[in-house]
Structure 1
Amino acid sequence: MMFGATAIPYCGPAPLPADLWDQWNLDPLILAPLTVAAVWLCVTRLLTVRARLTGALAVTILAIAFVSPLCALSSALFAARTVHHLLLVCVAAPLIAFALPRASHVRFGAVMIATVLQAVVLWFWHAPALYEAALSNDLVYALMEVTLLGASVLFWVMIRSAPAPTAALGLVLTMVQMGMLGALLVFAGSAVYGPHLMTTAAWGLTPLEDQQLAGLIMWAPAAGIYLLTALIQVARWIGPDPESGRQPA
């Protein structure tokens, strides 16, 4: 279905600033799994206390992304959609990965595959036609969100479990490709995302300014998360690994 007047994004029509705070997403298909996950984390004894707290924080981040008015704002502004996606790939995904048991025997090739897969998924859904399709069809939207989160969880699981030099390389490569995508959006000569061409004016932005703001968010703070984590991995390489208790070779 092509995007147009009859196509309503999953998060609802683009809100006006005065109406934003009323735009909570109470879809049972979102509330039910988040509630089940929260209750399970409260009662389970299969995870450590730290893992349960980390998982609970991940559930909170997912609620912010999908239930709070940020979801509706992402129908209006591509910059808000970028924040929404970065909450998934840079915050919720590593929290989920660190709530899971640490994997063993993670090889260099597995980390590189996960790194490339995450990059492919990210760039795939930022192709204008595919992004438009996701905002025009709820099933395509669900596929976009699930694949972005799933590929990122896999990436962070590999990063957490890999030797520090390999983890740092995967993080640096991710920083570079995310920065490249952000720069591409910043320096594009025109706005390319059709769903937001008519929705940014109420928020005091032109479509191109909205796109450039999204690119800056992706280019600087998001890429910075990967750089900071890479530096932590370098420190882990130089010093003892606090999780395993092993001394550096």
Structure 2
Amino acid sequence: MSHPAAFQTHNWHPYCGEAPIPAHWLSHWNWDWMLLGCLAALLVVGFTTSRATFREQLAATGCTIVLFVTPLCALGSALFLARSVHHLALALVLAPLLVGAVGPKAFPRIPLTAATLMQAAIFWAWHVPALYAQALSNDLVFWAMQLSITLSAAAWWASLRRAPALAATGALLAQMVQMGALGALLVFAGRAFYAPHWLTTAPWGLSALEDQQVAGLVMWVGGGGAYLLLASVMLWRALGADARPHVAPRSA
């Protein structure tokens, strides 16, 4: 598949570094001292102010290191598939860990429906090809992407924790639908959308379109399936609680 020459010669500068090749990607660690310093400072503050949630803070920090320090970060410069896994991890792993680390009260009380729409809109917006390309060529835009995906998802998880079981189940199913729709769009597209990956996937044995299609499957089946599983557990617990017999207290 041919691509416009302007995009072929564009010099991308992803935050995580240039796209690695398979033989060397495990050596592509991100030793950004500002990021590492911020993580260390947050751990110290968290340990000294709220030891009760330090385990959650440690888990959130560990997840952040995996996503932004290890070679997984650089792999996202080469493969849209890796970037998709990264985004799913932000929404499904780091965001709820963040809520556990700082508590739901740290997030504004947003109605669950509004939080669901906001989180979905932000997630879709950053997968618009033009915005995605900007994020992989400008560090400020990259961090705007990462923070907005994570914080909107965290606000959604906080709202989910406050909601009744049936409302929470509905919100989880809505997330499943929107994630599946985005994944299906990427799977059935007839062309590769994301210019930063047009010339970086071949060393990995994939065309840019194949990379995009596999990423779509991961969103559709993996992301949508995760929301469906959580919705099923939530509904099962709610129905189980309603089915339990209510025993009237004995009179003295």
Could you state the TM-score of these two structures normalised by the residue count of structure 1? 0.88
Q: Structure 2: which 5+ runs fail to align?
A: 1-5, 247-252
In 1, are the aligned partners of 2:112 and 2:160 still within 8 Å (CA)? Answer: yes
Deviation digits for residues 71-96 of structure 1, max 9, x if unmatched?
10000000000011111111010111
Q: How far 1:6 sits from its partner (Å)?
A: 2.8
Matched position secondary structure for 1:136: coil
**Whole-Å separation in 2 of the counterparts to 1:224 and 1:137:** 32
Q: How far 1:28 sits from its partner (Å)?
A: 1.7
Q: How far 1:172 sits from its partner (Å)?
A: 0.5
Which of 35, 41, 48 is the matching residue for 1:44?
A: 48
Corresponding residue for residue 28 of structure 2? 23
Pairwise CA RMSD: 2.2
Q: How far 1:165 sits from its partner (Å)?
A: 0.8
Q: Structure 1: which 5+ runs fail to align?
A: 242-246
**Whole-Å separation in 2 of the counterparts to 1:117 and 1:234:** 23
Corresponding residue for residue 13 of structure 1? 18
In 1, are the aligned partners of 2:201 and 2:207 still within 8 Å (CA)? Answer: yes
Could you state the TM-score of these two structures normalised by the residue count of structure 2? 0.87
**Whole-Å separation in 1 of the counterparts to 2:27 and 2:205:** 20
**Whole-Å separation in 1 of the counterparts to 2:170 and 2:20:** 41
Corresponding residue for residue 73 of structure 2? 71
Q: Which amino acid aligns with 1:118?
A: Q
Which of 52, 55, 72 is the matching residue for 1:53?
A: 55
Corresponding residue for residue 185 of structure 1? 186
Matched position secondary structure for 2:23: helix
Matched position secondary structure for 1:236: helix
**Whole-Å separation in 1 of the counterparts to 2:26 and 2:65:** 15
**Whole-Å separation in 1 of the counterparts to 2:100 and 2:168:** 14
In 2, are the aligned partners of 1:98 and 1:160 still within 8 Å (CA)? Answer: no
**Whole-Å separation in 2 of the counterparts to 1:101 and 1:137:** 32
Corresponding residue for residue 40 of structure 2? 35
Q: How far 1:102 sits from its partner (Å)?
A: 4.5
Q: How far 1:58 sits from its partner (Å)?
A: 1.4
Larger radius of gyration: 2
Corresponding residue for residue 210 of structure 2? 209
**Whole-Å separation in 2 of the counterparts to 1:214 and 1:13:** 20
Corresponding residue for residue 149 of structure 1? 150
Corresponding residue for residue 222 of structure 1? 223
Q: Which structure 2 residues correspond to residues 124-139 of structure 1 after superposition, within 5 A?
A: 124-139=125-140
Corresponding residue for residue 175 of structure 2? 174
Question: Judging changes above 3 Å, is the alpha-carbon distance between structure 1 residues 100 and 240 closer, same or farther for their aligned structure 2 residues?
Answer: farther
Aligned: 1:93 with 2:98: no
Q: State the percentage of identical aligned residues.
A: 46
In 2, are the aligned partners of 1:182 and 1:214 still within 8 Å (CA)? Answer: yes
Corresponding residue for residue 244 of structure 1? none
Q: How far 1:39 sits from its partner (Å)?
A: 3.0
Q: How far 1:53 sits from its partner (Å)?
A: 1.5
In 2, are the aligned partners of 1:186 and 1:213 still within 8 Å (CA)? Answer: yes
Matched position secondary structure for 1:12: coil
Deviation digits for residues 139-185 of structure 1, max 9, x if unmatched?
11111111001100001111112111111111110110000000100
Matched position secondary structure for 1:18: coil
Q: How far 1:234 sits from its partner (Å)?
A: 1.2
- Once the two structures are overlaid, the 10-residue window that deviates more, 52-61 or 162-171, is 52-61
Q: How far 1:5 sits from its partner (Å)?
A: 3.7
Q: How far 1:67 sits from its partner (Å)?
A: 0.4
Structure 1 segments (4+ residues) deviating >6 Å: none
Corresponding residue for residue 236 of structure 2? 235
In 1, are the aligned partners of 2:12 and 2:196 still within 8 Å (CA)? Answer: no
